Amino acid sequence: MRRTANRILCCSLILLTSGCYSIGSYKLGKDQDQYASSMIEASKRQTLSNLVRLRYADTPGFLDTTQLISGYQLQRNAFLGVASDTFPIRPNGGLAAQLQESPTFTFQPVTGDAYAHNFLRPLPPASLLPLAMGGLPIDVLLRLSVQSINIMSNNRPFSRNSGDLDATVESHSVDFFSLVHDLRLLQAAGLLNIQLQKNSSTTGKDVENSRVFMSISSTTDPNLSSIVDRTRKQLNFSSKHDRMEVVYGVGQPEPGQIKLLTRSMLSILGQIAYQIQIPEDEVSSGNTRKAVDILGNHGEKPLMDIHSGHKEPANAFVSILYDHYYYWIERGDFESKLAFTITQMLLELSKTTLNPGAVVTIPVNK
């Protein structure tokens, strides 16, 4: 009997001490993936929600996750005893373990100076154009973020209504779309180059005061050579300038310059929002107005195709519920997903550095 009790005691101690390992290393990788995925999905839903809100003339809201604390507590108990009221005397025991998780999220609304800096300030060309050298398609990037290049307009006034006097006036130039299409071809061929030149006083991530230049390389390919010549002509390249400085502005540029009138994030979101096709009953009820055909006759499609319906989508890239309707982007719509992802990147690019990013803290108690 004593031998049996000793065996049970030894087994209990072994199980108890074997549970003293740290769960931090086990949970770290899993938590990092799950929380990163959750924060990305939440950011996507917030962006789509704000697009739909703007379409309904509703107030957009931006909430940043500033801190995430996920705490774990592992509780273990073991007992061993004997039943003295039985004969023969029999030992008994038991083990118990409990893992508790208590995540805490801290959010901060974007207001005041941060709101003005993030969403009302035009994106600087020196911050915008290097994204094309990172692999983002320059035609999608410029269509989203640029109002005009020199005198070539990408203006799509989303505030017009079908009854306005100028509702039928052409609001953008075919030259702009021809130019960005050619720039995309040159980018894919490796003939388009963007150089960022930092000033001596520029430090760290402060690139707003930096200078950005564009150059177009020559080629012996006859097909690409004609595109190179046409693009240089549209951008007023001359033999005196190997590269052109891209500056913020509108109108006819100075020699050696390209003027880029960039948009603010609020303008970018508004341009996308008013291309969302709204159900007819939402228009007839007065909740919103019917979108004007602002795409013209140039064959240009909306950069982002956002669907709507009463039924929740089964395979959506991102979806939200607003005013009894689901709005979503199809997972199989690559072009819309690309435009949405670039919009997300521009949102991150526009954010002020006054507030730090989210801090993830995961304390683990044994």
Mean pLDDT of 83-89: 60
Alpha-helical segments (H) within the chain: 2-18, 24-55, 112-115, 125-128, 130-133, 138-145, 174-189, 222-234, 265-273, 280-284, 334-350
| pLDDT surpasses 90 at 365 | no
Q: What is the pLDDT of residue 339?
A: 95
Q: What is the pLDDT of residue 109?
A: 73
Token pair for 194:
């963007």
Label residue 195 by pLDDT band (50, 70, 90).
Answer: very high
For residues 315, 321, 322, 326, the Cα torsion angle rounded to the nearest 10 degrees is 30
90-115: burial string, b at 16+ Cβ within 10 Å, e else:
ebeeeeeeeeeeeeeeeeeebeeebe
Q: 283-332, pLDDT tens digit by residue?
A: 888 888 887 555 544 456 788 999 999 999 999 999 999 988 999 999 99
Distance CA 365, CA 71 (A): 8
Q: What is the pLDDT of residue 297?
A: 43
Percent of the chain past pLDDT 90, that is, above it, reads: 39
Label residue 168 by pLDDT band (50, 70, 90).
Answer: very low
Determine whether 340 is exposed, middle or buried from the number of CB atoms within 10 Å of its CB (0-12, 13-18, 19+): buried
Label residue 59 by pLDDT band (50, 70, 90).
Answer: confident
Q: Which residue has the higher pLDDT, 95 or 140?
A: 140
Of 112-126, 127-141, 281-295, least confident by mean pLDDT is 281-295
Q: Report how far apart, in Å, the C-alpha atoms of 266 and of each of 59, 122, 133, 286, 340 are.
A: 12, 9, 24, 24, 15
Token pair for 53:
């809100």
Mean pLDDT of 59-84: 67
pTM of the model: 0.75
